[in-house]
Amino acid sequence: MRVSVDGFLNHQLRIAQPVRGWRAGLDAVLLASAVAARPRDMVCEFGTGSGAAALCAVWRTRAQLVGVEKNAALADLARANAERNQLAARVEIRTLDIAARDFLAALAPLRFAHVFFNPPWYAPRRVRASPSPARQEAQLRADEPGVWVRRAASLLRAHGTLTMIERADALADILAQLTPAFGAIRLLPVLPRAGRAAHRVLVQARLGRRAPLRLLPPLILEDAEGAPTQAAHAILRGGQALAL
């Protein structure tokens, strides 16, 4: 596997990822910024890939993380990236398939304060697939819709948080999947530029809570001239937390 080593959080992290296939970027950093963890919390990321979101989250929060990745080559790359960034003591990567019958047993008896993920976005017959098998694996849902949410509900401790980043047009499906196990849902639209429609949405919910849903003011990544906004710069370059 050919890789490039890329800088994240203003090059405070150096992360190797495949040259070809699905490469982590802005979405991974945004997701990591919204993980509401404290030092020594146990957190879990589904679909860790080469580890960009996981390592950004651990770097900021000092939490203990278990990353789950079914692609063995990517799981190895995530382990190497944890070593590269002196975070291996806080990061464990397990090569597991989230949809497998023995998935929960493989993680027992762990219970997590937070689970987060950037799920595969597309149903196979609703989009033209990329010719790259690696991109297909990252983009196309092979699992039954909602299985990632149900697995998270089984692994979270009482009132633990689930955080994900999704396409804005998938929001209705996500809200349906969260019901009835999750409540206190927070939605943060992400706008690529001032005046544009949201293209992503950050979703956070608490297991077993019944508080009303809240739609938060949007995060705007660029101003009308195309320059990064102050809020986006603080998150994407400075590693600032994004409170939902």
The count of domains in the chain is 1
Look at residue 121 and tell me if it is in a domain.
yes
Record the tokens describing residue 58, joined without a space. Answer: 């651990």
Look at residue 204 and tell me if it is in a domain.
yes
Does residue 136 surpass a pLDDT of 90? Answer: no
Q: Name the CA dihedral angle for 97, 102, 106, 111, rounded to a multiple of 10 degrees.
A: 90
Look at residue 156 and tell me if it is in a domain.
yes
User: Which helix (H) or strand (E) covers residue 191, if one does?
Assistant: strand 182-191
Distant-in-sequence contacts of 83-91, Cβ < 8 A, 24+ apart: 84/14, 84/15, 84/16, 85/13, 85/14, 85/15, 85/55, 85/59, 87/55, 87/58, 87/59, 90/58, 90/62, 90/63, 90/64, 90/65, 91/51, 91/54, 91/55, 91/58, 91/65, 91/67
Does residue 86 surpass a pLDDT of 60? Answer: yes
Average pLDDT, whole number, for the chain?
91
Look at residue 243 and tell me if it is in a domain.
no
Look at residue 69 and tell me if it is in a domain.
yes
Q: Name the CA dihedral angle for 203, 208, 211, 216, rounded to a multiple of 10 degrees.
A: -10
Record the tokens describing residue 242, joined without a space. Answer: 């994004």
Look at residue 68 and tell me if it is in a domain.
yes
Per the structure, the complete domain to which residue 154 belongs is given by 3-236
Look at residue 224 and tell me if it is in a domain.
yes
Does residue 222 surpass a pLDDT of 70? Answer: yes
User: Which CATH number goes with the domain that contains 171?
Assistant: 3.40.50.150
What is the reported pLDDT for 39?
Answer: 95
Does residue 129 surpass a pLDDT of 90? Answer: no
Look at residue 241 and tell me if it is in a domain.
no
Give Cα 239 to chain centroid, integer Å. 15
pTM for the predicted model, two decimal places: 0.90
CA gap 192, 65 in Å, rounded: 30
